[in-house]
Amino acid sequence: MRAFDRLFDKLIREGELTFITADGKTHRFGKPSPDRAPIVVRLTDPRTPLRILLNPSLGAGEAYMDGTFVMEQGDILDLIDLITWNARYEIFGERTELEARIRPPEWLASWLRKRNHERASRRNVAHHYDLSAKLYDLFLDKDRQYSCAYWTGDPATESLDQAQTDKKAHIVAKLAIGPGHKVLDIGCGWGGMALYIHQKTGADVLGITLSEEQLKIARRRAEQAGVADKVRFELTDYRTVQGPFDRIVSVGMYEHVGPAHFSTFAAKCRSLLAPDGVMLLHTIGRIGPKRSADKWTTKYIFPGGYIPTLSEICEAAEHNGLLTADVETLRLHYAYTLEQWLRRTQAHQAEIVAMYDERFYRMWEFYLAGALTGFTNGEMVNFQVQYVRSRRALPITRDYMIAEEQALLDVPHPPSPHMAEMAGKEFERAGE
């Protein structure tokens, strides 16, 4: 316990954290903070402190899942937020010094684990995305967008459904889709983005996924909408797709590519893109130095997952002839999204337990709480990177993005002359 106490003495400087161990002893850390309520955790298994010492995220996560790490005061989000806030990105120098003392480097081992060849990629995707469709219905928006929403209003009052609609418009505006365009959606999920693109632009869309559950639902949605001939979905790896496509979009898929295949992904996308084509990549990104996902997340949530830095993304593109036309960093949007997902999950605890069991529910809660704090205190953001093959493929200012986004959302706005100039005629937009 002396080593356990030393660890948390280093971790907790502001805010109060108390552990009650299996022998009934109390271990207190930190100091009172006017902005934070005290947190109390009971450890019911005497082996738990050692498990946490050996690997903090894996040990604490598994103990929480097993029910031997019990929140007596505050919930799991409060605890993870307290710990990560004390090592938040904004205190960069202090944080890196602390991490050097408590975290061993493991970049090379991580790189080797993330070699996602095609068979491994399909297995890794199935691990997470082939869960019950009902689970995702419980905490996602009605269009089942399992990626960062885009909050244009107050997150305290704006609905998740509206924020996800705004996200789709924000992305599609950057693609500048014109009449007759063919669009490829890499990692299409349950089909929401592909269907939105066709509805708003009339473009033909091919969505690809490695999840059989997602494929079934996406195809059913296209059939029910009567657009299965215009919006097609296939169970296939991006490496096997044949082009060309006028536009490529990929939302929340790059995190599963793996650093060993970043160059392969960029090269394939360039080969699929028409000479005057445009691509929009939306991915979770890391604003600190490159490092692997924690062991708990890799084991239980996203095997093979890896969060890239912007430099890694750009290096792969630059080496394979993709010209970076625009970059946007979404700093807190995913935090607001994850908070909604977490609270919805907690509100449906009984249903999720009935569907799976208590251990699965605690795993899912721990995952969402940890992810949320990664975007409020840690190194996580979202990057939207726009690529072209030709520097003349798009207008030279960003005005067209704003005008097109407002048009997609039916917000009154003067027409943008850039869009007509680029496409050769006015875009025809379908109504809601």
Strand 204-209 with 231-235, pairing:
parallel
Measured CA to CA in angstroms, residue 416 lies from 15, 176, 386, 398 at distances of 51, 12, 20, 11
Is residue 419 scored above 90 in pLDDT?
Answer: no
Band (pLDDT 50/70/90 cuts) for residue 424 is very low
Rounded-to-integer distance, Cα 216 and Cα 234, Å: 10
Give the separation between CA 142 and CA 136, rounded to whole angstroms: 10
At 372-395, the pLDDT tens digits run 999 999 999 999 999 999 999 999
pLDDT for the residue numbered 113: 45
> What mean pLDDT value characterizes the chain?
89
- Write down the pLDDT at residue 410: 87
User: Which of the residue ranges 122-126, 157-161, 179-183, 273-277 would you say has the lowest mean pLDDT?
Assistant: 122-126
Q: Percent of the chain scored above 90 by pLDDT?
A: 81
Per-position DSSP letters for 132-185, written without gaps between them? -HHHHHHHS-TT---S-----S-TTTS-HHHHHHHHHHHHHHHHT--TT-EEEE
**Mean pLDDT of the 340-369 span:** 97
Above 90 in pLDDT, residue 210? yes
Mean pLDDT of 255-267: 95
Tell me which of 46-50, 128-132, 253-257, 409-413 is least confident. Answer: 128-132
With beta carbons less than 8 A apart as the criterion, state whether 209 and 275 touch: no
How far apart, in whole angstroms, are the C-alpha atoms of residue 236 and residue 206? Answer: 11
Domain boundaries, the chain: 2-102, 118-423
Closest CA to 48 of 34, 38, 58, 40: 58
The fold for domain 118-423 equals Rossmann fold (3.40.50)
Q: How much is the pLDDT for 428?
A: 34
8 A C-beta contact, residue 309 and residue 259: no
Residues 200-214, mean pLDDT to the nearest whole number: 96
Q: In this model, does residue 426 exceed pLDDT 90?
A: no
Q: What is the pLDDT of residue 179?
A: 86
* Whole-prediction pTM: 0.88
Q: Which residue has the higher pLDDT, 111 or 364?
A: 364
Rounded CA gap, 325 and 247, in Å?
14
Residue 304 banded pLDDT, cuts 50, 70, 90: confident
